[in-house]
Amino acid sequence: ALVGVDALKGLAAREGGVDFLEAFFNDVEWMEEFAGSGAPFNLTERRAFHRLSMLVWNDPSNWILTSVVGRRLATALVLNGADAKRADLIARFRMYASLYRRGRLTAAAERYTVREWREALAPDLSVRDLAWLNGRASLPPAQVWSLTNNVAVASNNCFGTRYGDSACYGLWSGVWPQARVVEQVGGRAADRLYYAVRLAQAQGIAAYLADGGAALVRTAPGDWSLQETPWWDPAPDWSEKGLLGSTRGEILASARVFADEDAWRASERLRWLAATRARQFRATGWSERVDATYFAALETCPRNVLAWRDYRDWLEKNKVGPDVWRRFGKAAAQALADVPPFAYEMARAWFAQLKASGAAPSRRLAALREVHALLREPAVPWSGECGFERFLSDSADMLENDPALLLEFFDTVALAQLGTPHFFEKATVWAGRVFMKDAHTAPKFLARIEKWADPDTYTRYSAQYRARRAAAGWQPKPPKVNWTEFLYAAAEAGNVEGLRAAMPLAKRYAKKDLSAAEREKTESDRDKKADKVPSTLFGAPVVSAGAWPLAHPVFRVPGMNRPLDWESFADPSPAGKTRVCVAPTNEPAITLALPRLVEGYGILIKNVDEDLRRTARQSPLVVEVSKDGQTWRTVWQEAATNATVRTA
């Protein structure tokens, strides 16, 4: 059914075709490996089957037909769609075969399944590059990250620009593998991770360069090690294709999808049957028989993402009604809850149909609440990499920015995730960025947050759901709330009222990371380091009392901002206590929102970071004033970077 009768007849007429077909169809395991190891990349099953026949014909040693390793390697190569040219594919197969026979591939390769081979092959490496990289290292998967030590750490290249740009690495394009260039001239953290991944791939170790600057290495069947580029390095645009997707979450969740091999194969047989029946009923459209066959496949292996995708596509083609889509969305959320990236993918399909059908926002909210109530964070080590925040944003888009509906939606999400290790905090951070931007929604949002932050209120609130909380494993103590993000969101949006409302709650409930002795020492150091701001300047009182700093945008790095001290503008204090730092953008700005109109005689600006002055953000320095926050007038401008700026 996958290849087609006509294609088989054509293949049988070719030289060596009959021998290949006899070997293939007399080996049930080979057939199931070919059809059940994931969809081919960039080509059809028919084309992959032809290429497999071609590899067998060009294997004079008969290694493919006489060896399980050879058979699985060849099958994985054709399914991955590597090398459009026949000669290149043959050369790649022979290179891997040679490396395996010489013991130059990881020892685990001997036991690889076709799926594991597909994850280990490196389609982005030429045969020549593969040979060079393979000779650079030989070590077990658990030690792959140590390869980064082969690359010197450097921020800028000989052209004065950051490593990794075309002006530097591009000079060797077509001459050396990029990993070799990185090894020779050094690079930043992302370049070093790139180097380690490419050397791992050359040893037959499964490794990926994933989204958001993440690098992954499979250390054991089903287990992955993840490294990320640090926040100070620009995230590279990586996206290598895994068996079920190209995001880090999809790659990590794939192992769980394939965990039950027997159920997977049985489900795949039913999926192929459903696809065959769907083609038979193409002219008539909807068929209860096809629908039942897809559901049988999904009941056999609820995590069969390929079956869910085929079923979704079939529903879209047949333009089914809202009841069928609701059944699909709820069933997918229940079945795929422990592999969130794929649950989100199916839920988005239902949401898209609701939006396209013109359903009222209230109906959309009902669908969102049904799905999110089922998608509690699973107990897996990689749950934080699943793209939960993006799914929240996509879900909220369904509600067309209606504040009341968004608050109801947030209530459902928070209740579903209360007590989880990552998702509850991610949900509150996301909600803070939505609601703290607006002076009307901020108080309502903060009232909800205080229910969880205050121990007494939390106990009374959670008692309403005691049975559900116990079943879901909710924590008896109040959950962690990221107050810093709420203050950041209000500051970036210029929501002074939101800052005023959030600050006392943040100071009351925020967890203090430093001990009392450490906080006392920090205050003492600040007093010694910086001059105190006098209570009068320029012959008049300081008028910044009661002002709030609004940063555009906030630099979200620990230690660079101290939002819990931002209100100290209301009380002249040791310079350095109120740390406000903006991100290094083209036009960073800090606005000091005064509580009332004042008559100013001068401005004192103190750069307390005297050891490492942020010249990119301080110079040139422009000081502007405004009565209404709309029209601004420049009163001071200088290009120098000084510890203290005093204007009059």
**HEC-encoded secondary structure of 476-510:** CCCCCCCHHHHHHHHHHHCCHHHHHHHHHHHHHHC
Q: Tell me what pLDDT residue 282 has.
A: 86
Asked whether residue 562 carries a pLDDT value surpassing 90, the answer given is no
Asked whether residue 633 carries a pLDDT value surpassing 50, the answer given is yes
- The share of the chain scoring above pLDDT 90, in percent, equals 55
Mean pLDDT, residues 544-548: 77
Q: In what side-by-side order are the strands of the sheet with 223-228?
A: 207-210, 214-220, 223-228
367 near 333, Cβ under 8 Å? no
- pLDDT confidence of 525, banded at 50, 70, 90? low
List the structure tokens of 388: 């939960």
Out of 32-46, 124-138, 403-417, 537-551, least confident range: 537-551
Q: Which residue has the higher pLDDT, 516 or 227?
A: 227
| 137-177 residue pLDDT tens | 899 999 999 999 999 887 666 665 565 566 677 777 778 88
| 565-621 residue pLDDT tens | 777 665 544 444 567 778 777 777 888 888 888 888 888 777 655 555 455 456 778
Mean pLDDT, residues 345-361: 95
Domain boundaries, the chain: 1-118, 122-259, 408-511, 526-647
Q: Tell me what pLDDT residue 359 has.
A: 93
Q: Quote the CA–CA distance of 539 and 310 in Å, as a whole number.
A: 77
List the structure tokens of 2: 């996958």
CA proximity to 193, closest of 149, 155, 141, 139: 149
Half-sphere exposure of 385 (CA within 13 A, CB side): 24
CA proximity to 350, closest of 331, 369, 326: 326
List the structure tokens of 409: 């939606």
Asked whether residue 42 carries a pLDDT value surpassing 50, the answer given is yes
Q: Tell me what pLDDT residue 575 has.
A: 45
E-assigned strand segments in 201-284? 207-210, 214-220, 223-228
Q: Which residue has the higher pLDDT, 530 or 547?
A: 547
Q: Quote the CA–CA distance of 557 and 202 in Å, as a whole number.
A: 36
First to last CA, the chain: 84
Q: Which residue has the higher pLDDT, 487 or 466?
A: 487
Phi/psi of residue 489, nearest 5 degrees = -60, -45
- pLDDT confidence of 648, banded at 50, 70, 90? low
CA proximity to 176, closest of 134, 137, 128: 128
DSSP three-state, residue 296: helix
| 585-598 residue pLDDT tens | 777 788 888 888 88
Asked whether residue 2 carries a pLDDT value surpassing 50, the answer given is yes
Q: Which residue has the higher pLDDT, 494 or 459?
A: 494
- pLDDT confidence of 529, banded at 50, 70, 90? very low
Phi/psi of residue 633, nearest 5 degrees = -125, 130
Q: Tell me what pLDDT residue 514 has.
A: 45
Q: Quote the CA–CA distance of 217 and 57 in Å, as a whole number.
A: 34
CA proximity to 109, closest of 60, 131, 76, 80: 76
Asked whether residue 367 carries a pLDDT value surpassing 90, the answer given is yes
DSSP three-state, residue 162: strand
Which residues touch 457 (CB under 8 Å, ≥6 apart)? 450, 451
CA proximity to 605, closest of 637, 643, 632: 643
CA proximity to 151, closest of 104, 198, 105, 106: 198
| 67-102 residue pLDDT tens | 999 999 999 999 998 777 889 999 999 999 999 999
CA proximity to 588, closest of 553, 624, 538, 633: 553
DSSP three-state, residue 153: strand
| 226-277 residue pLDDT tens | 999 987 777 788 889 999 999 999 999 999 999 999 999 999 999 999 999 9
Q: Tell me what pLDDT residue 574 has.
A: 44
354 near 398, Cβ under 8 Å? yes
CA proximity to 91, closest of 127, 58, 67: 127
Task: Looking at mean pLDDT, say which of 184-198, 346-360, 442-456 comes out highest.
Answer: 346-360
Asked whether residue 28 carries a pLDDT value surpassing 60, the answer given is yes
Q: Quote the CA–CA distance of 295 and 290 in Å, as a whole number.
A: 9
- pLDDT confidence of 360, banded at 50, 70, 90? very high
Which residues touch 229 (CB under 8 Å, ≥6 apart)? 188, 189, 190, 193, 213, 235, 236
pTM value is: 0.88
Out of 11-20, 425-434, 441-450, least confident range: 11-20
C-alpha pair distances (Å), 446 with each of 193, 363, 429, 510, 553: 41, 26, 12, 13, 22
| 185-229 residue pLDDT tens | 888 888 899 999 999 999 999 999 999 899 999 999 989 999 999
Q: Tell me what pLDDT residue 513 has.
A: 42
- The share of the chain scoring above pLDDT 70, in percent, equals 84
Mean pLDDT, residues 524-552: 67
Q: Tell me what pLDDT residue 131 has.
A: 92
Return the sign of the alpha-carbon dihedral for residues 443, 446, 451, 454.
Answer: negative
Q: What is the mean pLDDT of the chain?
A: 86
